[in-house]
Amino acid sequence: MDTIRTFAEKVIANVEKVIIGQRNAIELLLTALLCEGHVLIEDVPGVGKTMLARALAASLGVSFKRLQCTPDLLPNDVTGVSVFNQQASRFEFIPGPAFANILLADEVNRATPRTQSALLECMGERQITVDGVTRPLNRPFMVLATQNPIEFEGTFPLPEAQLDRFLIKLRLGYLDPAAESQMLLNLGHQHPIETLGPVVDGSQIPGLAQQVWDVHVDDTVREYIVRLVNATRGHADLLVGASTRGSLALYKTSQAWASLHGRDFVLPDDVKRLAPLALAHRCLIHPESALRGRTSAALIADLLAQVPLDIGKLE
């Protein structure tokens, strides 16, 4: 696990030259990368969501594309399009931004459901089918999608099937005063992103992701994950609980989180830390419960306090 730890520390130190006070968010993005998963960042405008994605891609030395989602965006604008070449008398495929290593889908909920669905295949199967031809995507491949939780005019809510394809959902939040002051100081002359270069080889990520699977998960911890996910499916306030993909997401992210911190085994605390991020967005709350102010994140927190861990087996 030392290889993964060293890899992560180099990336974190480089990204923090641009993004200050968000070490936890950077670690979570690296966790998703090591799981070859996708991340949904929901937060207010201006907290650094786009800059975080750019800094991560620059640190890894991989290709980066930004897709500004609007209601007039078409599926071909995401996947690519076949154009007839008159000189060659044949159709030629022009790849869309989805063929990058890191795709930032900015304000993804402003795209129409038809365009949102263009992301389903590439997120779930890492391939794109256009005009009957299936093309594999690059590795690593990550979709970083952002959405604004306070503005709903002209938006199209993400369907449950698409939310379920995001490995984790997180918020950045505002900086504390000291970090915000340091950020202003750093931006006094030139934006750090302009000089940020790669510090690791991003092509190593698939190999590192394979190492993550070797992180040991005790039977008791695995059973704890299963009981926790099953508890969401029978909760009175939840219309739909977490999916089987949610169980796998919590399992894999716990392994990746442990490896990032130099461990070759998963602790119950890893599961508890990641459960709200991996499960809450997969749960659909009852409308009556929502009217009472209940949220899926709060319900996951309640379940973490209620579902027991059989500590005796660990000993």
- Domains of the chain (ranges, CATH numbers): 2-197 (3.40.50.300), 213-308 (1.10.8.80)
Alpha-carbon Rg for the chain, nearest whole angstrom, is 20
Strands (E), 182-295: 238-240, 284-285
Helix (H, G, I), strand (E, B) or coil at 170: strand
- According to DSSP, the residues that pair with 143 across neighbouring strands are 103
- Give CA angle at 222 (22, 260), nearest 5°: 30
pLDDT given for residue 232 in this prediction: 93
29-51: pLDDT as tens digits: 999 999 999 999 998 888 888 89
The better pLDDT of the pair 1, 209 is held by 209
238-262 average pLDDT score: 94
294, 237 Cβ separation under 8 angstroms: yes
The better pLDDT of the pair 151, 116 is held by 116
pTM (predicted TM-score): 0.91
Q: Long-range contacts of range 204-209, CB-CB < 8 Å, 24 or more positions apart?
A: 204/7, 205/33, 205/34, 205/36, 205/60, 205/139, 205/140, 206/36, 206/139, 206/140, 208/3, 208/4, 208/7, 208/34, 209/33, 209/34, 209/35, 209/36, 209/140
Pick from 169, 131, 133, 232: which is nearest to 29 by CA?
169
56-67: pLDDT as tens digits: 999 999 999 999
The residue type found at 110 is R
Q: Is the dihedral of CA 297, 27, 25, 36 positive or negative?
A: negative
How many residues are recorded in the chain?
Answer: 315
Query: With 70 as the cut, is the pLDDT of residue 312 above it?
Result: no
Separation CA 256–CA 140 (nearest Å): 15
Tokens of 69: 């989602």
The residue type found at 153 is E
131-186: pLDDT as tens digits: 888 999 989 999 999 988 877 777 888 888 889 999 999 998 888 899 889 888 88
The better pLDDT of the pair 149, 17 is held by 17
Separation CA 138–CA 110 (nearest Å): 26
pLDDT given for residue 311 in this prediction: 59
70-110: pLDDT as tens digits: 999 999 999 998 888 888 888 888 999 999 999 999 999 99
pLDDT given for residue 180 in this prediction: 87
Query: With 90 as the cut, is the pLDDT of residue 253 above it?
Result: yes
pLDDT given for residue 117 in this prediction: 87
Q: Among 145-159, 220-234, 257-271, where is mean pLDDT lowest?
A: 145-159
Q: What is the CB-side half-sphere exposure of residue 124 using CA atoms within 13 A?
A: 12
